[in-house]
């Protein structure tokens, strides 16, 4: 357990952060131990879909109150209390404080978009900021590393949301500072990826039928697990090269291969499950046909759900917009699309 001096009775303050969601290009699917990944993953940090969280703290005895979008929410509060318990070794001072936490999401309600990455990273940024305000010292890289580590204990993918643009989480032999405990920023990425678009086509806004916690657990009995973890490390190696070279086509191919692998792993788990919808497959066919016809660099990835993340560089956005209007929007639930893109990471407010 980290050693901290006892806090004084007049300790109080308030911190606020907004933190984004992220979309993995190399997927984290399978974990071990205390939320450690079976393979390294790499994601784009998004900008539109984010959570805003504020934490008011006073000297106290570990009481936590939580309001989500202005209303008390016991289910979320209990999740946060469990999360605080999990990080007690890293932040023991939290049990000497009373916390009043308020949170809201900027992405639409029930859009089928997972909020754990933005929610847990926003909370981790707030807790690290409290540590910095009360004890000092936590600056720059050390701050982000600790925020990533804390966020990981809330939700693995949240570890990647603390960095601008891109993040790599998990040990990889080619990246000397990579680590299973926290994410880092990959270096030397070509500028074309810094304003990449990710339009999220909401094929279904229904809550997903299998949680990612259950999905990770099913990897333990999956006969392809070992080969999958090796494949992910190999694909990450290739991805880093094409991201350095600005090779969008190679990047897009890996993104699509990873999406299909993720869903194939779900389909061959025991019990098997399918999170794609018929319109997910129709959209995939149309994206591939459009690319074949036009040569335009427009690719997709999928999260653990039916929604399509359409990936393309800013320079072709007009052309892609026409394609969306003509062929994809009709496949979306109530025509819903979240227009997102790579962003600057968490912001203090
Ligand atoms: O962070 P979790 O436990 O919700 O897992 C996320 C898993 C995927 O979103 C499917 C892939 C990823 O790397 O984000």
| Residue 336 CB neighbours (<10 A) | 16
Contact assessment for residue 60 and residue 179, using Cβ atoms and an 8 Å cutoff: no
CA of 211 to the centre of ligand 1 (A): 10
CA dihedral in degrees (63, 100, 106, 150; nearest 10)?
Answer: -50
| Secondary structure class of 170 (helix, strand, coil) | coil
- For residue 150, the model assigns a pLDDT of 98
| Secondary structure class of 78 (helix, strand, coil) | helix
- For residue 223, the model assigns a pLDDT of 94
Cα 22 to Cα 212: distance, rounded to the nearest angstrom: 15
Backbone angle region of 175, left / alpha / beta, with phi > 0 → left and psi within -120 to 50 → alpha: beta
Backbone angle region of 112, left / alpha / beta, with phi > 0 → left and psi within -120 to 50 → alpha: left
Mean pLDDT, 10 residues at a time, over the chain (349 residues)? 84 97 97 97 95 97 94 91 96 96 82 81 98 90 97 97 98 97 96 96 86 92 96 98 98 98 96 96 98 98 95 98 98 95 96
Instruction: Provide residues with CB under 6 Å of ligand 1.
Output: 24, 27-29, 41, 116, 155-157, 212, 262, 303-304
- For residue 5, the model assigns a pLDDT of 87
- For residue 4, the model assigns a pLDDT of 86
Cα 39 to Cα 31: distance, rounded to the nearest angstrom: 8
Cα 202 to Cα 325: distance, rounded to the nearest angstrom: 14
User: Best mutation site among 19, 25, 26, 29 for ligand 1, i.e. most ligand atoms within 8 A of its Cβ?
Assistant: 29
Cα 37 to Cα 30: distance, rounded to the nearest angstrom: 6
The β-bridge relationship of strands 197-201 and 337-341 is: antiparallel
- Strand segments (E) across the chain: 12-26, 31-32, 36-37, 41-59, 64-68, 71-72, 97-105, 166-169, 183-184, 197-201, 299-302, 308-312, 337-341, 347-348
Nearest atom within ligand 1 for CA of residue 35? 3
- For residue 112, the model assigns a pLDDT of 60
CA of 101 to the centre of ligand 1 (A): 25
**Phi and psi torsions of 237, nearest 5°:** -60, -50
- For residue 171, the model assigns a pLDDT of 98
Taken as a whole, the chain contains a residue count of: 349
| Residue 188 CB neighbours (<10 A) | 8
Nearest to 18 by CA among 131, 106, 109, 144: 106
Nearest atom within ligand 1 for CA of residue 26? 13
Backbone angle region of 240, left / alpha / beta, with phi > 0 → left and psi within -120 to 50 → alpha: alpha
Sign of CA dihedral 267, 273, 277, 280: negative
Cα 135 to Cα 279: distance, rounded to the nearest angstrom: 52
User: Best mutation site among 19, 28, 216, 264 for ligand 1, i.e. most ligand atoms within 8 A of its Cβ?
Assistant: 28
Please tell me whether the peptide bond between 271 and the residue prior to it is cis, using omega within 30 degrees of 0.
yes
pTM of the model: 0.96
Nearest atom within ligand 1 for CA of residue 116? 4
- For residue 206, the model assigns a pLDDT of 85
User: Best mutation site among 27, 34, 35 for ligand 1, i.e. most ligand atoms within 8 A of its Cβ?
Assistant: 27
Burial class (CB in 10 A: 0-12, 13-18, 19+), 1: exposed
- For residue 40, the model assigns a pLDDT of 98
């Amino acid at each position: 357990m980290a050693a901290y001096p006892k806090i004084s009775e007049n300790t109080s303050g308030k911190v606020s952060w907004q933190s984004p969601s992220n979309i993995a290009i190399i997927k984290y699917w399978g974990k071990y131990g205390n939320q450690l990944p079976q393979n390294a993953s790499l994601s784009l940090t998004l900008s539109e879909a984010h959570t805003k969280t504020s934490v008011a703290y006073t000297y106290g005895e570990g009481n936590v109150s939580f309001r989500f979008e202005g209303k008390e929410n016991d289910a979320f509060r209990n999740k946060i209390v469990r999360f605080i318990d999990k990080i007690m070794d890293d932040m023991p001072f939290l049990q000497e404080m009373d916390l009043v936490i308020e949170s809201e999401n900027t992405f639409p309600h029930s859009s089928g978009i997972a909020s754990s990455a933005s929610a847990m990273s926003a909370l981790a940024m707030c807790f690290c900021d409290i540590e910095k305000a009360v004890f000092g010292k936590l600056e720059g890289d050390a701050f982000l590393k600790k925020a990533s580590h804390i966020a990981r204990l809330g939700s693995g993918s949240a570890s990647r949301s603390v960095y601008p643009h891109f993040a790599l989480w998990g040990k990889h032999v080619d990246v000397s500072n990579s680590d299973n405990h926290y994410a880092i920023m990959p270096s030397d990425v070509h500028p074309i990826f810094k304003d990449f678009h990710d339009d999220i086509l909401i094929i279904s806004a229904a809550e997903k039928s299998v949680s990612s916690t259950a999905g990770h657990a099913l990897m333990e009995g999956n006969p392809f697990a070992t080969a999958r973890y090796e494949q992910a490390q190999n694909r990450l190696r290739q991805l880093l090269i094409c991201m350095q070279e600005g090779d969008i086509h190679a990047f897009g191919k890996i993104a699509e291969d990873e999406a299909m692998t993720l869903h194939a792993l779900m389909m061959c788990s025991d019990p098997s499950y399918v999170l794609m919808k018929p319109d997910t497959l129709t959209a995939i066919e149309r994206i591939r046909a459009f690319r074949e016809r036009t040569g335009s660099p427009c690719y997709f990835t999928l999260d653990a759900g039916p929604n399509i993340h359409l990936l393309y560089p800013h320079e072709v956005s007009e052309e892609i917009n026409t394609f969306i209007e003509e062929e994809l929007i009709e496949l979306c639930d109530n025509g819903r699309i979240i227009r997102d893109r790579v962003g600057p990471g968490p912001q203090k407010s």
